[in-house]
Structure 1
């Protein structure tokens, strides 16, 4: 761990980090708790004044150095990521570049935190709005995107003048350790960025109870997000929450089937389907249902499963046995209720790894668990629909509202359909909508706030109204 610019934790118990492709331990991190979390909070609190007093241009200088260091160390970061959580190495390289893009974007966006001068209602006054950093920020991130989820939070926080405590997932903390090393090389002052690893419950308890932490930014399950909302009430901490999803993907009769298949492949099977915005429920209009299922299944059959360090692999392992058990349950439930497996449908036993075949299931319906719960695996269930209105009704029949996808060549139909969808992100003929310069976040139980884009920095500043008497 790194607290106040010092690497610490040698005296603590450790957590083994296991490669899900082969069961091997690839590293360890300290098992920190409340004590270490509070030390990190104190360091961030003490560093806040001097960091927030730097100009936006000075803070941008640090971020630009970090951005370049990430690019210079792409291969090492990618290898660490693949070893600790399994995604194919080419996807890991892509994530490093994506993660670095948030640092670059917010280095510039920090220079555009503008205040206001408002016309006064009386003479002799000047009315202004100043923007101030919110304070100490705790960033709690998941295992599936161990680089990008951190930089999407720390980038805007640091650019706004906040100091940060990073708490990565215990499943994939080694990427965060390497990022912390790069922050150190970039020259960030002591205490501005701190890294704690260990017990999620104990560290979160310290974060939520310590009034020096003014902002929590969290990506994870809706269940944990609701707990954080309740815990934040005692101190009215500010929250940004990117929570669960269950993304529908709708293919209308007039869609270009080849474009739709390419889009579903890009969305569904990235990181073996372990993404919060991947297509979980596929609704295809009856006129092209059979043609779509045939072309899509052939494309899925060509995917190669294996250890992510192999350059030719398309699908890596699931993160752990619990993830595999959930996928098996979803597929078994669908088959028992009348769905048919077109391709795949089985787990793979290979070198103690946790693998599942890329799977296509047809003739599914709303009664099946796979259409009601997020699978987080390489399973694509396809349900036949008859109309645009039916598609919208099925798509919205969920407490989640993070991402949705629409494939149609008809502008009027696409516009009407998207207007009915209650999701924060929509890809129209696009299976990969994420980018640093756009807002990322959900509606309903999928979260609060937006990350990325010019909105992404708003969550880390407070508006302060100042009325100046001039007489």
Structure 2
């Protein structure tokens, strides 16, 4: 496949390519251009031209909305093809990849509606000679850098929102999973998007990704990935005072009280910890359980976890597929090993699952975890659940809030007064009560602390890509300033 720059499918200027092998079986599944700084410069120039002289920023909202709606329809039409590529490149199970196609399309549909309702404000009570408009305008050219864990879904949490606001963009998907983003480029062209509005480059963080952060022709950076790389993005943006939107790591807690529905909680705990092989910023990696029900809930969770099927991502019955890379697999195994050496009990699963060529790991449940342990505070990005008991709501809040992250949390209780009190004290951008992991397009998503800056989804997700402009209209004669100053 080739890159999309200025409405044309092109190779890298230097002619270099890289390949992607499937983590599920080790077979090569794609060959892509290896973009360099020159290719990013070409993409930025195309996006800048489309923004400065093209029709997109000033196109009627109904026309932009029509293209976004068409894109949603094309995603659904091509869902099987996109899901297959996503499964081959990421290692996620095919059933989940197919579900993500509809979630992604829904975001494009939502943005079509927001494009038509995005508006500013007006003021007519500023005195007899002054009225004013506060206008929302597109911020300009946006560098969008996306990760490998939800390739189509995460670009759909960014790109349609930027387009709804009237921005143009340069997109770089992860080098592990570029295929679905390039297919999205094909669909955008088929939907009628003007040339240069969206440009897609493929390659690695250096030099392509770094050039996208540093480029003086870029007005905003939108990045999803690790907190460590997010800090690099902020450092780069500081040189030119670019706006930055970051969705970063998480170390999320599900807090279960004794009066909760334990059967439903157990199901959500398994989903939260092991879905997408735990390779999710929203992974419910910590289970905080009231001590009086600790043993009962752990038994329920363990029983369910034993039936979770690890296997070939293309197997429709598999629930946990392959891990994205050998380095990530080693990282997961290392966390579990060090936790065991530090005194945690490994109730379920430890180490690699056998495979001739793929990268698989058993889901793990760790008990006796001290809140200060590494495994209780660092993001693992793998199917590892740490169980921590608590005695009081205050203690649960303290444990939940002690990490550097603040992305999401869940509270399980039948006492809604307690639930409300907990939601007010938890430092997280999303708090679920008696559920986990739902995320309608209408609701903003983002984190506290080192989990990010800004919000995606909802009206806030579009407003991230806008600037406010105040326009004042004066009527009648203007009194001289020195006369006004004497009053």
Taking structure 2 as the reference length, the TM-score comes to: 0.95
Cα drift, residue 211 of structure 1: 2.4
Out of 217, 221, 243, the position equivalent to 2:222 is 217
Equivalent of residue 276 in structure 1, options 274, 278, 281: 281
Query: Take 1:147 and 1:345, find their aligned partners in 2: how far apart are those partners?
Result: 31
Deviation readout 1:196-244 (Å, 9 max, x if unpaired): 0113222233223332211111001111111111111121111110011
Counterpart for residue 313 of structure 1: 318
User: Pick from 331, 338, 348: which aligns with 1:326?
Assistant: 331
**The one of 234, 237, 243 aligned to 1:232:** 237
Q: What CA distance in whole angstroms lies between the structure 1 residues aligned with 2:204 and 2:289?
A: 44
Unpaired stretches in structure 1, ≥5 consecutive residues: none
Shift of 1:179: 1.0
Distance in 2, Cα, partners of 1:86 & 1:219: 19
State the SS of the aligned residue for 2:170: strand
Deviations 1:330-353 (A, max 9, x none): 111221122222221221120211
Alignment of 1:422 onto 2:427: yes
**Who is 2:42 aligned against?**
39
- 2:81 match: 76
Structure 2: how far apart are the matches of 1:349 and 1:32? 36
Aligned to 2:16: 13
Q: Alpha carbon RMSD of aligned pairs, Å?
A: 1.2
In the TM superposition, residue 368 of structure 1 has moved relative to its aligned partner by 2.3
Distance in 1 between the 2:384 and 2:38 partners?
42
TM-score with structure 1 length normalisation?
0.98
Partners of 2:220 and 2:426 in 1: CA distance: 30
C-alpha contact 1:282 1:381 (8 A) present in aligned 2:
yes
| Displacement after TM superposition at 1:111 (Å) | 1.0
Task: Note if contact 2:24-2:313 (Cα within 8 Å) is conserved in structure 1.
Answer: yes
Structure 1 residues 338 and 205, CA, compared in 2 at 3 Å: closer, same or farther? closer
SS in 2 for 1:269: helix
Q: Which residue of the other structure, out of 347, 357, 360, is the alignment partner of 1:355?
A: 360
Change (3 A) 1:199 1:338: closer
1:58-94 superposed Cα distances (whole Å, 9 cap, x missing partner):
0011111110000001111100000001111010011
Q: CA deviation at 1:269?
A: 1.2
2:482 is matched with none
Match of 2:250 in 1: 245
Shift, 1:467, TM fit: 0.6
Give, in whole Å, the separation in 2 of the partners of 1:28 and 1:458. 36
CA contact (8 A) 2:272 2:285 kept: no
CA distance in 1, matches of 2:95, 2:328: 22
Q: CA deviation at 1:433?
A: 2.3
Residue 354 of structure 1 aligns to a residue in which SS? coil
Q: Which residue number corresponds to residue 159 of structure 1? A: 164
What is the rounded CA distance, in whole Å, between the counterparts of 1:119 and 1:126 in structure 2? 5
Does the 8 A contact of 1:21 with 1:351 survive in 2?
no
Q: Which runs of 4+ in 1 moved over 4 A?
A: none
Mapped partners of 1:225, 1:358: distance in 2: 28
Q: Give 2:94's aligned residue.
A: 89
Greater alpha carbon shift after TM alignment, 109-118 vs 292-301: 109-118
Determine if contact 1:396/1:421 at 8 Å carries over to the other structure: yes
CA distance in structure 1 between the aligned counterparts of 2:63 and 2:56, rounded to whole angstroms: 10
Task: Using the TM superposition, name which of 100-109 and 340-349 deviates more.
Answer: 340-349
- Measured in 1, the distance between the counterparts of 2:419 and 2:210 equals 45
1:264-413 to structure 2, matched below 5 A, reads 264-413=269-418
Q: Given that residues 67 and 100 in structure 1 are in contact (C-alpha distance below 8 angstroms), is that contact kept between their aligned partners in structure 2?
A: yes
Determine helix, strand or coil for the equivalent of 1:322. helix
The answer to whether residue 109 in structure 2 is matched with residue 104 in structure 1 is yes
1:79 touches 1:89 (CA, 8 Å); kept in 2?
yes
Q: Deviations over 1:391-442 (max 9, x none)?
A: 1101100111011111111111111122111000111111122221110000
Structure 1 CA distance for aligned equivalents of residues 57 and 279 of structure 2: 37
Rounded Cα–Cα distance in structure 2 between residues aligned with 1:373 and 1:206: 29
Question: 3-state DSSP class of the match of 1:147?
Answer: helix
What CA distance in whole angstroms lies between the structure 2 residues aligned with 1:430 and 1:209?
41
> Could you say what secondary structure the match of 2:127 adopts?
coil
Please, which of 24, 29, 33 is the counterpart of residue 26 of structure 1? 29
Match of residue 5 from structure 2 = 3
Bigger Rg over Cα: 2
Deviation at 1:31, TM superposition (A): 0.3
Cα-to-partner distance string for 1:108-154 (whole Å, 9 max, x where unaligned) = 10111112111343312211111111111111000000001111111
- Aligned equivalent of 1:191, options 176, 190, 196: 196
